[in-house]
Amino acid sequence: MSKYTIDLYETAEGHRPIEKWLGELTPTQRRAVAAALDEVLAEEGQAVCGGHWGDPVGEGVFEFRIKHTEAQIRALGGGPKPAGKQQASSEKILLRIFCHAYGQRIVLLLGAYDKAKHDKAPYQQKQITLAKKRLKDFNARTRQKK
């Protein structure tokens, strides 16, 4: 059983931006994300910060970096090998997911982007700002429910 639960930010209208982003990824990228969430983020939570997996970006948000294939991630984490015969992919994986840790070991996924496609600093800053805005929205709506 994982140490952390992965949760998805949901807008007031019920949209989950991470689900939309995942749908835009290639199958190779989706498998890498699934492995990284399962083998790394669900096990380490915000402790990924300060290593090659992540860094804090401020205001309670941290960046989770994925730059390995599913097979590489599972080998690093000691988890099960990918099912079936996996072909080596030359596809570049350079993904960023913005997260917030809260409650009893819960990691909230706020936003994400493909840094291989959007490698300019202004784009990254825009994504960080959006993640922080989503966290403020999440916190405000969570307080209202109490």
How far is residue 39's CA from residue 133's CA, in Å, rounded to a whole number?
A: 28
Place of tokens 């997260």: 99
- 110-23-91-52 Cα dihedral, nearest 10 degrees: 20
At 35-82, the pLDDT tens digits run 999 999 999 999 999 899 999 999 999 999 999 999 999 998 765 666
**How would residue 34 be classed by pLDDT, with cut points 50, 70 and 90?**
very high
C-alpha 76/C-alpha 22 separation (Å) is 23
85-124 pLDDT, tens digit each: 455 567 889 999 999 999 889 999 999 999 999 999 999 9
The torsion defined by the Cα of 42, 137, 120 and 55, in degrees rounded to 10, comes to -40
Residue closest to 36 by CA, chosen among 87, 75, 62: 75
State the DSSP code for 39: I
C-alpha distance from residue 74 to each of 33, 34, 47, 53, 100 (Å):
11, 10, 18, 14, 23
Which residues have CB under 8 Å from 56's CB, separation 6+?
46, 49, 62, 63
**32 SS3 class:** helix
Specify the pLDDT at position 146. Answer: 63
